[in-house]
């Protein structure tokens, strides 16, 4: 029930009591497990992955939520006794002892071995399981050493970032794989359970104390004292259930993943940036980074919509803004008042007031109108050109990734990074350059570290980083454009679309026909045909290309979902994120 990533082999390490041999009899695990029934509608276990979570119901069925860009939450209809979630795939142990996996089918991760098993663990590019006779079977990974398990009989196995560990029936631990941080240097002595995470491993000793080894830059190796009934190790943090049922976590806490809720729990599962635990009543509580964005936009009529990394914002007919989705940084906490335009980046949003003032909210400054104005003045000061009357000198604002740009009254583009804008030690990131700052533009589009605009004659000018990788912008005249993470698309004056940049997954293969608007994102693009229907293309991650039938007036695409406004002003969204089921709460 952990998230673990890529494997390599840096030798082996083992720890066994004196006299222990590979053939010693195991002390448990002599047949397929039977599910524990705790009552109707309750959960028996949770498995936290990287951007998704799956849960095992007491009737043996599985439900998943969060990201679905690799079908990792499309659980089969089988009944299971155990689950384990990795970065982008999940595996379960069926009631008949067979293994079934779903999600990213890379390096044969989903090609499970036959036979009956008693335990399973999922990593990033490999998985391992314990057969009923105690043998270890591993599969996946481009490195043979990673899936070559040691001989002998064992009672459990744990897959980490680039290593794995097994537990003997005698209590000894043996690890193999990547050992850059000492994560395979298992300490001597006896353990009753083990867990492997990012670059660290942890074990529970017979007296209930926890001991960790490996990487500990953010405290992930410093297990607190006390007694635990179970522990689990994630990407850069670990959590344990104490003998009194309370939770304790340690390690990295960038997303609050080591700030567990109060109460009593029976089990815990740690992912990369989040954790989930099963309460005594069978309900699940999760904390840390949220990947359960609800795609349902608010009801009512709207005139504009913008989608960010995992959130969206829209302007109602009366000019007020309403946002939904991920809100870790306040990117969905729209300020009051009226707006004339809305835009969204990865974890922030910006709006243009009717008087030309710009206001942003979410991760990083600038936020208020005064802060935005101060950043813009810093930019133009270095170019010896006045901004004009403050703050109403802006006629448009656009965002993409961590970047934002405005078009001033003269059509000049002024751009900044919201991660650098207020730092005295780091210069404001100016994407304008020769094209954006010195030549008027009529249309502006912003991507991650790159921006493009339409000159007054309809030709395209782009600037920013990775220009050579993107390739030259197409010649000719255009009337609309959009910049994604690694590609751009523009609408010619005849309504056809042309895309350029990195062409993986069909990103540059725009469909034929005439279009009124286009929106490019990380792995796909969408556009509105002149008849109002939406067409999407690119990588066929689950749901991203499944645009509903029109008619629509505009569309906005983001890495996790897309939203479009119908002719009656209502919003409809589709994409790869799924909300959690009833019985799952967030701390």
pLDDT, position 567:
96
Prediction pTM value: 0.65
The pLDDT score that the predictor gives to residue 484 is: 93
What does each of the 587 residues of the chain score in pLDDT, given as a tens digit?
443 323 333 334 444 433 333 333 333 333 433 333 333 448 999 999 988 999 999 999 999 988 777 888 889 999 999 999 998 899 999 999 999 999 988 888 899 999 999 999 998 888 999 999 999 999 987 677 777 888 999 999 999 887 899 999 999 999 998 888 999 999 999 999 999 988 899 999 999 999 999 998 888 889 999 999 999 999 999 999 999 999 999 999 988 999 999 999 999 999 999 999 999 999 999 999 876 555 668 999 999 999 998 889 999 999 999 998 878 789 999 999 999 999 999 889 999 999 999 999 998 767 777 778 777 777 767 666 655 545 457 889 999 988 888 988 888 888 888 654 433 333 334 444 333 446 788 999 998 778 999 999 999 999 887 655 677 899 999 999 999 988 999 999 999 999 999 888 899 999 999 999 999 998 899 999 999 999 999 987 657 888 999 999 999 999 888 999 999 999 999 886 677 888 898 87
**Phi and psi (nearest 5°) for 377?**
-65, -35
Question: How far lies 524's CA from each of 27, 231, 236, 478, in Å?
Answer: 51, 39, 31, 21
Alpha helices in 262-405 (DSSP H): 369-381
Integer CA distances (angstroms), 223 to 137, 201, 532, in order: 30, 11, 58
Helices (H) and strands (E) in the chain, counts: 3, 45
What is the residue whose two structure tokens read 């493009």?
Answer: 452
Look up residue 327 and give its two tokens. 């809100």
Spell out the residues 6+ positions from residue 435 whose beta carbon is closer than 8 angstroms to its own.
Answer: 413, 453, 461, 462, 463
Copy the structure tokens of residue 583: 């019985």
**Cβ-based neighbours of 299, under 8 Å, separated by 6 or more:** 570
| Domains of the chain listed by start with CATH number | 12-189+261-288 (2.130.10.30), 302-578 (2.130.10.30)
Phi-psi map region of 322: left, alpha, beta (phi>0 left; psi -120 to 50 alpha): beta
3-class DSSP state of 292: coil
Residue 49 confidence (pLDDT): 93
Q: What is the pLDDT of residue 226?
A: 96
Beta strand 126-131 with 136-140: parallel, antiparallel or unpaired? antiparallel
Q: Is the CA virtual torsion 170, 172, 173, 174 positive or negative?
A: negative
- Would you give the DSSP letter of residue 379? H
The whole-number pLDDT of residue 9 equals 32
468's enclosing H/E stretch is: helix 467-470
Q: What b/e readout covers 73-92, taking b as 16+ CB neighbours within 10 angstroms?
A: bebeeebbbbbbbbbbbbbb
**C-alpha to C-alpha distance for 234 and 245, rounded to whole angstroms:** 20
The answer to whether residues 238 and 276 touch, using CB atoms and an 8 Å cutoff, is no
Phi and psi at 280, nearest 5°, equal: -65, -25
Catalogue the long-range contacts made by 20-27 (C-beta closer than 8 Å, 24 or more residues apart): 20/168, 20/170, 20/172, 21/152, 22/150, 22/151, 22/152, 22/153, 23/152, 23/153, 24/153, 24/168, 24/169, 24/170, 25/153, 25/169, 26/134, 26/153, 26/154, 26/155, 26/168, 26/169, 27/155, 27/169
Rounded to 5°, angle at Cα 518 from 396 and 467:
75
Q: Are 411 and 405 in contact (CB under 8 A)?
A: no
**Cα(386)–Cα(550) distance, rounded to whole angstroms?**
45
């Amino acid at each position: 029930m952990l998230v673990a990533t890529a494997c390599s082999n840096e030798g082996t390490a083992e720890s066994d009591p004196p006299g222990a041999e590979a053939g010693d009899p195991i002390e448990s695990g002599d047949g397929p497990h039977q599910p524990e029934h705790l009552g109707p509608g309750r959960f028996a276990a949770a498995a936290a992955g990287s951007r998704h979570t799956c849960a095992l119901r007491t009737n043996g069925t599985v439900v998943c939520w969060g990201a679905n860009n690799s079908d990792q939450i499309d659980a089969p209809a089988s009944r299971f006794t155990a689950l384990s979630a990795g970065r982008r795939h999940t595996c379960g142990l069926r009631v008949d002892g067979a293994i079934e996996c779903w999600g990213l089918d890379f390096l044969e991760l989903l090609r499970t071995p036959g036979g009956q098993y008693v335990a399973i663990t999922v990593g990033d590019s490999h998985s391992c399981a314990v057969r009923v006779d105690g043998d270890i079977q591993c599969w996946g990974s481009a490195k043979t050493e990673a899936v070559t398990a040691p001989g002998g009989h064992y009672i459990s196995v744990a897959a980490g970032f680039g290593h794995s560990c097994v537990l003997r029936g005698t209590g000894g631990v043996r690890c193999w794989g990547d050992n850059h941080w000492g994560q395979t240097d298992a300490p001597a002595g006896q353990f009753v359970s083990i867990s492997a995470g990012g670059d660290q491993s942890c074990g529970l000793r017979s007296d209930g104390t926890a001991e960790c080894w490996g990487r500990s830059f953010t405290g992930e190796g410093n297990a607190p004292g006390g007694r635990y009934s179970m522990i689990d190790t994630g990407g850069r943090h670990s959590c344990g259930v104490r003998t009194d049922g309370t939770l304790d976590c340690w390690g990295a806490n960038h997303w609050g993943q080591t700030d567990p809720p109060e109460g009593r729990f029976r089990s815990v599962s740690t992912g990369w940036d989040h954790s989930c635990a099963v309460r005594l009543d069978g309900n699940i509580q999760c904390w840390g980074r949220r990947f359960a964005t609800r795609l349902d936009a608010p009801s009512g009529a709207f005139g504009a919509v913008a989608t960010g990394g995992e959130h969206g914002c829209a302007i109602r007919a009366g000019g007020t803004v309403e946002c939904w989705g991920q809100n870790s940084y306040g990117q969905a906490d729209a300020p009051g008042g009226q707006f004339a335009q809305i835009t969204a980046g990865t974890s922030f949003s910006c709006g243009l007031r009717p008087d030309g003032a710009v206001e942003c909210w979410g991760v990083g400054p600038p936020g208020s109108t005064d802060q935005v104005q101060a950043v813009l003045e810093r930019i133009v000061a270095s170019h010896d050109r006045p901004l004009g009357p403050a703050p109403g000198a802006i006629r448009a604002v656009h965002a993409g990734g961590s970047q934002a740009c405005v078009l001033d009254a003269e059509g000049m583009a002024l751009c900044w990074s919201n991660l650098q804008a207020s730092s005295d030690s780091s210069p404001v990131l100016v994407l304008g350059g020769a094209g954006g700052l010195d030549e008027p533009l009529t249309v502006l589009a912003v991507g991650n570290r790159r921006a493009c605009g339409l000159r007054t004659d309809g030709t395209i000018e782009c600037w920013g980083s990775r220009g050579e990788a993107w390739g030259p912008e197409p010649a000719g005249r255009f009337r609309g454009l959009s910049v994604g993470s690694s590609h751009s698309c523009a609408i010619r004056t005849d309504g056809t679309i042309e895309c350029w940049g990195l062409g993986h997954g069909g990103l540059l293969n725009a469909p034929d026909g005439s279009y009124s608007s286009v929106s490019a994102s990380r792995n796909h693009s969408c556009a509105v045909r002149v008849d109002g229907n939406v067409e999407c293309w690119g990588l066929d991650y689950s749901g991203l290309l499944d645009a509903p039938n029109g008619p629509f007036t505009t569309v906005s695409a983001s890495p996790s979902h897309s939203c479009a406004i119908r002719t009656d002003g209502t919003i409809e969204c589709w994409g790869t994120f799924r909300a959690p089921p009833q019985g799952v709460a967030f701390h």
